[in-house]
Structure formats: structure tokens, C-alpha cells
Chains A and B, each alone.
Chain A
Amino acid sequence: MNRDVKGSLKSFLVELLVYSALVVGYFFLILHFLADWIAQLYQGDRRIYAFVALALIVGQGIALELLTSALFALIKPRMDER
């Protein structure tokens, strides 16, 4: 395995670990704070629920990717110095 590929895989594994930690944290936030509110919204107003549902999944996608990318950008230069 050449040096470039090895370095990329190493950086990627670090990114993956950070990503997993963030995802698990967000997972528990959803379970504990959003579950009841979302269920009430579903019963109460289907139109608001539809847009909140889309906003939540879009927001989760963007937030997780942004946070990981930012952390990865911090990690990568240090790894490149080695």
C-alpha cells in the first residue's frame, strides 16, 4: 500500500471515529427530547409535521456532515505534519 493511500485511510478512520461519536450523541438527543413533541405534531397538524420532518432530516444531514468536515480539517494538517 503506497504512502498516500495509507495516509488517506488513516485520516479517514479518524474522521469516522469522530463522526460516530457525534452521531451517537445526536441519536440520544433525538430519542429523549424530540420523540413526544413530534408525535403530538403528527396528530395535531399534518402540514406543519410534513415540513418539520423534511427540515429535521435535511438539518441532520447538513449538521453531521458540516461538523465532521470541520473536525476533519483540524485533524488532517496535524497528520500531514508527521
Chain B
Amino acid sequence: MNFLISGAHISPIYLMGVGFIVGLLGGFFGVGGSFLAGPALYAVGVPMNFVVGTDLAHIVGKSIVAARKHRALGNIDLKLGFIMVIGTIAGVEAGAQVIQWLKRTAHIDFAVGITFIVVLLAISGFMTWESIKTIRLHGHGKSPTKSRRGEHPSKRDPSAAAHIARFIHRIGVPPYISLPVSGIERISLWAILFVAFIGGFFSGFLGGGAGYIRMPCLIYLLGIPTHIAVGTDLFEIIISAGYGTITHALKGNVDILIALVMHTGAAIGAQIGATLTQFFGGPRIRLAFIPLPIIGIIIIIHGLLAAHPAK
């Protein structure tokens, strides 16, 4: 099938298949899935500028389907999501500015790339240790998300690293807010904005949604229960990817027909992924999440070998 805007010739079945896999990951883990969709589009001849913009557009549609499903399951903290959008957009702009600065500086991208690899390896290693330890201690790997009447879901999402979030909650920098949906009585607004900024920065620097950074930050730094972290991240992605879609479309980087066709597969995958979270406890979802930062590492290594930042 010919896509007139980007000039690409791609099988719609291929696009639906890629969309399905990315949708499945997005619905289950709350990530955008650009690390997979980007190379998959590029491999069939979509020009790189269209890859970035079109992928963002498809992420919007997929995240709407998954987020609505998560909302029905009570997995979205709207207050947290709206606050995070501010930090994310600032982070995306900062990441994009750093990219522009690095383009003028020799070798510094290699040093930054290595730093990111170390950070992502640390996330994978830490999540492996924490998930396995939590499953051993609490045996919560198979528990569904449904909580008993009157019991907050966070009470049924134990973590061996909960002390980190408790430390963050005690940070004494006003203003403070409460997040009743996530079971957090008091937290500094700056802590939330900082975590959102970090996710946005990686997104602007590496491209895509950088969910492999934001998800662990939400769970371990802010202490958001895993299922709510997945749903809230998806909600936040709708707004930040929507912003990205508009800016890229204005620059002529979006082939919306490719995104619409991809979304037909992604919508099914996102439904399955979101529904599947009901059958897994938080620790087991976190354990299954571990390959994603490793895929992030592969993207960075590819970018370094290609002698430009992975974007």
C-alpha cells in the first residue's frame, strides 16, 4: 500500500502487526514503545523525520485506548498525571536543547551515552533485585489488583524498596500536595516535577516516551503503586505525545495514515495489555518490565555506533 504523504510503500498487515506488539507493551507496562516502533518503521523505508512524528501520533491513539481501560480499572491518578505533564514538557524541551548543544561538541555524546547505559543498567539490576526479593518476602507475584472493600490498592503492592519513596515523601520543600488515589498523604510538588522532568529529559534526548525511565521513577521514587503508575503514565503520555504530534505535524513530519493503520493493531494490543494487568501483582509486572531498560541500552549503543545520539 502506498502512503502518499511520506512516500513509503508498506503492507498494512505489517503496520497492524507492529502496532499490536507495541500496543500490548504499552497497555501492560504504560510505555510508549517507540524503541520498537521507530526501528520497525525505519526498516521498511519510512524516512527518519516521519518515523519520529508518526510514531508519536500513533502513541496518542494507543494510549487513549489503554488509558480508558486503566481508568475503568481505577488505575489512573488524574491529579498526578496533570502535574507530571508540566515537568515532562519542560524536560522534553531541555533534552532537545542538550541534543542541539551536543551536536556542536565533539565526543561529549559518547560520555553522555555511557552515563545513560550505566543508569539504565542500574535500573534493570535494581528492579531485578527488588522484584525478586519482594516476591520472596510477600509472595505477591500472582495477586490480582482487585483490593478488598475499603482497602487501598497500594496496601496490596508491597515493595522491598519502599524506604526510598518514604524518604522522598519526607522532603521538606513546600508546596506539598496529597495524592489520595495513589495513597500518598503528603509529598512535595517539586519531587513530582523533578521525576517528570527526568522522564521528559530522556524523552527529548533519546526520542520516544522514555517510559523505561519514568515508570521505575514513579514506583520507586514517588511510591506510586505499580498499577496506578502504569495507568497514570499512559494518561500523561496522551498529553505529552499529543503536544509532540502537533509540533511534528506542523513541520510536516507526520504521516497520519500510517499512524491510523498502526493504531488499528495497537488498539487491540493495548486492550489486551491493559486487561492483563488485572491478573498480575505489582512485583511480577515490575519483574517483567526489566527487559525494557535493556532495550533502551541497545538503542543508545546503536546511536553511539552510528556516531550520532540515538534519536
Q: Which residues of A contact B (CB under 8 A)?
A: 5, 8, 12, 15-16, 19-20, 23-24, 26-27, 30-31, 34-36, 38-39, 42, 46-47, 49-54, 56-58, 60-62, 64-65, 68-69
B261 x A51 contact (CB < 8 A): no
- Dominant SS among interface residues on chain B: helix
Q: How large is the interface on B (under 10, 10 to 19, 20 to 34, 35 or more residues)?
A: 35 or more
B58 within 8 A of A: yes
In the assembled complex, which residues on chain A have CB atoms less than 8 Å from the CB atom of B113? none
B256 touches A53 (CB 8 A): yes
Total contacts A-B at CB 8 Å: 106
Closest to A68 in B: B271
Q: Is the CB of A58 within 8 A of B257?
A: no
Indicate if the CB atoms of B245 and A53 lie closer than 8 Å. Answer: yes
- 20 A-B contacts (beta carbon < 8 Å): A12-B272, A16-B271, A23-B268, A26-B264, A27-B16, A27-B264, A30-B257, A38-B5, A39-B4, A42-B4, A47-B250, A53-B259, A54-B246, A54-B249, A57-B58, A60-B260, A61-B64, A61-B65, A62-B64, A65-B68
Given that A65-B68, A68-B271 are contacting pairs, would A58 and B263 also be in contact in the complex, using a CB cutoff of 8 Å?
Answer: no
Of B1, B245, B267, B268, most buried by chain A (CB within 10 Å of CB) is B267
Which of A20, A51, A60 touches B61 (beta carbons < 8 Å)? A60
Our pick among A36, A49, A57 for the contact of B263 (Cβ within 8 Å) is A57
DSSP class of A's interface residues: helix, strand, loop or mixed?
A: helix
- In the A-B complex, the 4 residue pairs with the smallest Cβ-Cβ separation, listed nearest first, are A61-B64, A50-B249, A39-B4, A53-B256
